Amino acid sequence: MSDSLERLIDSQKPILTPIWFGIEMSINKSTIKDYDDFSKVNLFFNPNSIAVVGASKHINKAGNVIFSNFAENKRRGIFKGEIYPINPKDESILGHRCYPSLTKVPGNIDAIVIVVPSKFVPDVFHDAGTKGVSVAIVITAGFGEIGNDELENEIKNIAKEFGIRVLGPNCLGVFDSYTGVDTLFLPETKVLKTGDVMVATPRPMQGNIAMVSQSGAFGAASLDYLTGRQIGISKFVSFGNKADVSEAEILHYLNHDDNTRAILLYIESITQGRQFMDVAKVVTKSKPIAVLKSGRTKAGARAAESHTGSISGASAVYDAAFSQIGVMKSDNMSEFFNIGKGLAFQPPAKGRNVAIITDAGGPGVMASDACELRGIDVKLFSDETINKFEKLKKKGILPNFVQNTNPVDLTGSATSEMFEEAMNIVVADNEINGIIIIGLHHVPAIQEDFVDRIGKVAAGTIKPIVACDIGETEMAFYVRSRFEKFGIPAYPAPEDTVQAMAALVWYGEYLKNSNCFDSYLDSFLTSSVNKVNMKK
Ligand code: COA
């Protein structure tokens, strides 16, 4: 057994032992109770006033980008609180009066962002304590992750003395698409040497996925990816070294966040295993958590150790734990986002039998393969359903060469109306638990209204529906985004689409086994977040 695995198992023994014997774990209620007072954690996302310590006039400096984010969001009316730049060298920054230290600010300060070199951070915490600051986001690197535990402990102790909650250090902090908090020091645009301006780190639109990341760099890249894929987010949290606030506490907070429907979690290690297990087990009963856990191989674990100083531990240990508590593991980045989008947009499946409707034979076969490989059934339709298709053929509504045994292949003669007819039939079939649309836009009679017709039928069912259109040019982008306007997650490959459906099947089974499928479905269908997604 490797040294790191031994350490991991040792640190998690009380939790992991029952898993090996398949015994239901008990929930440590005290952990959850500890996190029940959100009043301070909420200030990371929704402060009435925030100061940026190390705000700078110099473009390209982290303190410049962060303060500019707040100034711009305030100007646009998105961030509604007070903002204070702190820097002893300046009188004003971006038109806002600048203060030499936190103690000189006249009003109250709920939150601070610290973006000064590490050696100054303890003094900033002393000032923050004197000023009565509630929460601090420490962007600065150079603490525990490089072995400087002494400095990290020093700020931890000062923070504890004054009751300041800390996110980081060594993190990107928070982006909240609803409140306009944006502590990311990565500029949204970059000016090329040619003078052209390019979007570099876009901020995603409002949505209902929360992205929580141990790695700031992957977190930032994922914002770029999510924006490009037009996936909105509620919150982004990069927690870095976790000197105080851990992933468990953030998960607990997000469980009570009305804007968050699904949680995406990137981690390299979990340091407080018991807390994580206790909290995640509760959260997954009401919100799905998809995890991408890296550091799964020897080389990956070594890289993680030098990245965040974390002990990654054995894959098998994590996999067993995740599956026990209903956390969905993904094997790679694209699966992570595919299933995140599926879970945020669609309700879980009541069973594992799906129907595939396509106008593209080959991709329909690819989807069928992918389903079977993931344990999803694509069973032959019942006689009743097959007869309904046959009747439509007799009436001339469907061509007689349409395949209607599952998959339904409408062929290259497909029309928008045929998709609607096929949808109506499979939605009415009680043996079908989910629907996969492989709707390629290339065939001649397909117009964009085929999506609207599918969307209309989808709005009347609680069965999960996912869609695929293959292509990287205009019409494919348009069709996929049109599906998503109806709350139907759409993907560029059959396999991606099936990953999303597999997650909805897996999560449905987990909820059923936990006796909370109906309550989850109820809250899914009635939640205000749902209005974003059209499935009313
Ligand atoms: N109070 C207020 N302002 C202070 C200060 C204090 N106690 N001490 C210094 N400052 C000011 C400086 O004067 C400077 O302002 P200026 O630009 O007007 O001169 C500003 O704060 C920043 O200090 P500077 O020394 O220029 O540092 P920097 O901007 O080069 O680097 C960090 C600061 C925090 C970005 C850097 O130390 C760091 O940690 N970088 C890595 C960050 C990272 O990767 N985090 C993890 C992400 S996942």
Angle at 189 between CA 183 and CA 192, to 5 degrees: 140
The mean pLDDT of 252-276, rounded to a whole number, is: 92
Reported confidence tier of residue 492, pLDDT bands at 50, 70, 90? very high
Q: Evaluate whether 166 touches 157 at the Cβ level (below 8 Å).
A: no
H or E element, residue 97? strand 96-97
Give the least confident one: 35-44, 122-131, 197-206.
Answer: 35-44
Residue 314 has pLDDT above 90, yes or no: no
Helix (H, G, I), strand (E, B) or coil at 343: helix
**Tens digit of each residue's pLDDT (9 = 90 or more) over 432-485:** 999 999 999 999 999 999 999 999 999 999 999 999 999 999 999 999 999 999
Residue 311 has pLDDT above 60, yes or no: no
Distance CA 122, CA 110 (A): 18
Q: What distance in angstroms lies between residue 115's CA and the mean position of ligand 1's atoms?
A: 5
Paired tokens of 403: 């395949």
Burial 521-533 (b: 16+ CB within 10 A, else e): beebeeeebbebb
Mutate to test the pocket of ligand 1, among 61, 94, 96 (most ligand atoms within 8 A of CB): 61
Ligand 1 atom, smallest distance to 170 CA: 46
Q: Evaluate whether 87 touches 100 at the Cβ level (below 8 Å).
A: yes
Residues 6+ positions from 368 with CB-CB distance below 8 Å: 356, 378, 407
Residue 495 has pLDDT above 80, yes or no: yes
Find tokens 């940026």 and name the residue. 52
pLDDT for the residue 312: 57
**Tens digit of each residue's pLDDT (9 = 90 or more) over 9-22:** 334 333 333 332 23
pLDDT for the residue 307: 63
pLDDT for the residue 269: 82
Burial 261-297 (b: 16+ CB within 10 A, else e): bbbbbbbbbbbbbbbbbbbbbbbbbebbbbbbbbbbe
Query: What whole-number percentage of the chain has pLDDT above 90?
Result: 82
Distance CA 531, CA 211 (A): 20
Which residue CA neighbors atom 2 of ligand 1 most closely?
87
Q: Over the chain, what is the mean pLDDT?
A: 90
Residue 305 has pLDDT above 80, yes or no: no
pLDDT for the residue 437: 98
Residue 423 has pLDDT above 80, yes or no: yes
The mean pLDDT of 27-38, rounded to a whole number, is: 71
Residues 6+ positions from 491 with CB-CB distance below 8 Å: 338, 466, 467, 468, 480, 497, 500
Helix (H, G, I), strand (E, B) or coil at 249: helix
Looking at residue 58, its amino acid is H
Helix (H, G, I), strand (E, B) or coil at 92: strand
Residue 179 has pLDDT above 80, yes or no: yes
Find tokens 């998809």 and name the residue. 290
Looking at residue 41, its amino acid is V
Mutate to test the pocket of ligand 1, among 59, 86, 87 (most ligand atoms within 8 A of CB): 87
Q: What distance in angstroms lies between residue 160's CA and the mean position of ligand 1's atoms?
A: 23
Give the least confident one: 65-74, 319-328, 373-382, 501-510.
Answer: 319-328
Confirm or reject: Cβ of 87 under 6 Å from ligand 1.
yes
